[in-house]
Structure 1
Amino acid sequence: MRILLLTTGLKLGGAERQVADLASQFTALGHNVAVVSLTLAQEIELPPGVTLFRVDLRKAPLQFLFTLRAVRKWVEDWCPDIVHAHMFHANIFARLMRAQRSTGNRIPVVCTAHSLREGGWLRMLAYRLTDRWCALTTHVSAEGRQYMLDVHATTADRIRVMPNGIDTDRFRPDPNARIQTRRALGLGPDSRILLNVGRLVPEKAQQHLIEAFAVLRRDPQVAANTHLLIAGDGPLREALSSHAAALGLSHVVRLLGPCSNVPELMNASDVFVLSSVLEGLPLVVAEALACETAVVATDVSGIRSLLAASGTIVAPANIGELATAMRMALRERQDVASGRAHVVATYGLPHVAMQWIQFYQDLSGAGGRSPGDVSCQGAGHA
Structure 2
Amino acid sequence: MRILLLTTGLRLGGAERQVADLARQFVVFGHEVAVVSLTLAQEVALPREVTLHRVDLRKDPLRFLLTLQAVRKWVARWQPDIVHAHMFHANIFARLLRPRRAGGARIPVLCTAHSSREGGRLRMLAYQLTDGLCAATTHVSAEGMQYMLDVGATKAGRISVMPNGIDTDRFRRDPQTRTQTRQALELGPDAKVVLNVGRLVHEKDQQRLIEAFRQLAGDPETGASIRLLIAGDGPLKATLVRHAAALGLSHAVRLLGPCDNVPALMNAADLFVLSSVREGLPLVVAEALACETPVVATEVSGIRALLAASGSIVPAGDTDALARGMRAALRGLQDVAAGRAHAVAAYSLASVAQRWIDLYRELVQRRGAALPAPGKADHA
Work out the CA distance in 2 between the residues paired with 1:125 and 1:56: 25
Encode CA deviations 1:44-84: one digit per residue, 9 max, x unaligned. Answer: 11112111111111111111111111111111111111000
Query: Per-residue displacement from partner, 1:107-151 (whole Å, max 9, x unpaired)?
Result: 000000000111111110000000000000000000000110111
Aligned residues: 372
Q: Per-residue CA shift, 1:203-252, capped at 9, x if unaligned?
A: 10001100001112232111321111111111111111111111111111
Aligned counterpart, 1:271: 271
Kept in 1, the 8 Å contact 2:36–2:52? The answer is yes
Map 1:1-382; keep pairs closer than 5 Å: 1-365=1-365, 368-369=371-372
Q: Residue 99 of structure 1 aligns to which amino acid in structure 2? A: P
Query: Is the CA contact (8 Å cut-off) linking 1:144 and 1:280 kept in structure 2?
Result: yes
Separation of aligned partners in 2, 1:180 and 1:288: 18
- Contact kept? 1:127, 1:154, Cα under 8 Å: yes
| Cα deviation, residue 370, structure 1 | 5.2
Letter in 2 for 1:312: S
Q: Which one-letter code corresponds to 2:320 in the other structure?
A: G
Given that 2:218 and 2:224 are in contact with CA atoms closer than 8 Å, whether structure 1 keeps it comes out as: no
**Is contact 1:86-1:113 (8 Å) kept?**
yes
Q: Distance in 2 between matches of 1:68 and 1:371?
A: 33
Question: In 1, are the aligned partners of 2:7 and 2:85 still within 8 Å (CA)?
Answer: yes
Consecutive unaligned residues of structure 1, counting only runs of 5 or more, are 373-382
1:367 Cα deviation (Å)?
7.2
1:378 alignment partner in structure 2: none
What amino acid does structure 1 have at the position aligned with 2:119?
G
Q: Higher relative contact order by CA 8 Å / sep ≥ 6: 1 or 2?
A: 1
* Contact in 2 for aligned 1:2/1:371 (Cα 8 Å): no
CA distance in structure 1 between the aligned counterparts of 2:234 and 2:371, rounded to whole angstroms:
46
Q: Deviations over 1:125-180 (max 9, x none)?
A: 00000000000000000000011011100001100000000111111101001001
**Aligned partners of 1:210 and 1:130: how far apart in 2?**
42
Q: Which amino acid aligns with 1:131?
A: D
State how far apart, in whole Å, the 2-side matches of 1:367 and 1:269 are. Answer: 49
Which has the higher mean CA deviation after the structures are superposed, 309-318 or 59-68? 59-68
Q: Secondary structure at the match of 1:222?
A: coil
Q: Following the alignment from structure 2 to structure 1, what is the Cα–Cα distance between the partners of residues 53 and 275?
A: 36
Q: Aligned partners of 2:332 and 2:2: how far apart in 1?
A: 49
How far apart, in 1, do the equivalents of 2:307 and 2:283 lie? 11
Other structure's SS at 1:212 match: helix
Moved over 6 A (4+): none
Over 3 Å counting, the alpha-carbon distance change for 1:179 and 1:69 in structure 2 is same
**Cα distance in structure 1, aligned partners of 2:329 and 2:238:** 29
Q: Distance in 2 between matches of 1:222 and 1:18?
A: 35
Q: For each residue in 1:89-115, what CA deviation from the matched residue of structure 2 results, as whole angstroms up to 9, or x when unmatched?
A: 000000001011122211000000000
Amino acid at match of 1:69: Q
- CA distance in 1 between partners of 2:328 and 2:132 (Å): 50
**Which residue type is aligned with residue 150 of structure 2?**
D
Contact 2:296–2:329, Cα closer than 8 Å, also in 1: yes
Residue type at the aligned position of 1:299: E
Q: For 1:230 and 1:183, how far apart are their aligned partners in 2?
A: 17
Q: Distance in 2 between matches of 1:117 and 1:177?
A: 37
Q: Distance in 1 between matches of 2:263 and 2:238?
A: 25
| Secondary structure at the counterpart of residue 297 of structure 2 | strand
Question: Hey, what's the Cα distance between the residues in 1 that align with 2:248 and 2:113?
Answer: 40
Output the CA distance in 2 between the equivalents of 1:199 and 1:63. 29
CA contact 1:57–1:63 (8 Å) conserved in 2 = yes
Q: 1:257 and 1:217 mapped to 2: Cα distance?
A: 22
Counterpart Cα distance in 2 of 1:216 and 1:335: 22
The one-letter code sitting in structure 2 at the alignment partner of 1:313 is: I
CA contact (8 A) 2:98 2:107 kept: yes
**Alpha-carbon shift at residue 11 of structure 1 (Å):** 1.1
Contact persistence 2:294–2:311 (CA under 8 A): yes
Task: State the TM-score, normalizing by the size of structure 1.
Answer: 0.96
Unmatched segments (≥5 aa) in structure 2? 376-380
- Secondary structure of the residue aligned to 1:221 is coil
Give the Cα separation in 2 of the matches to 1:362 and 1:331.
48
Tell me, in whole angstroms, the C-alpha distance in 1 between the residues paired with 2:138 and 2:317.
Answer: 28
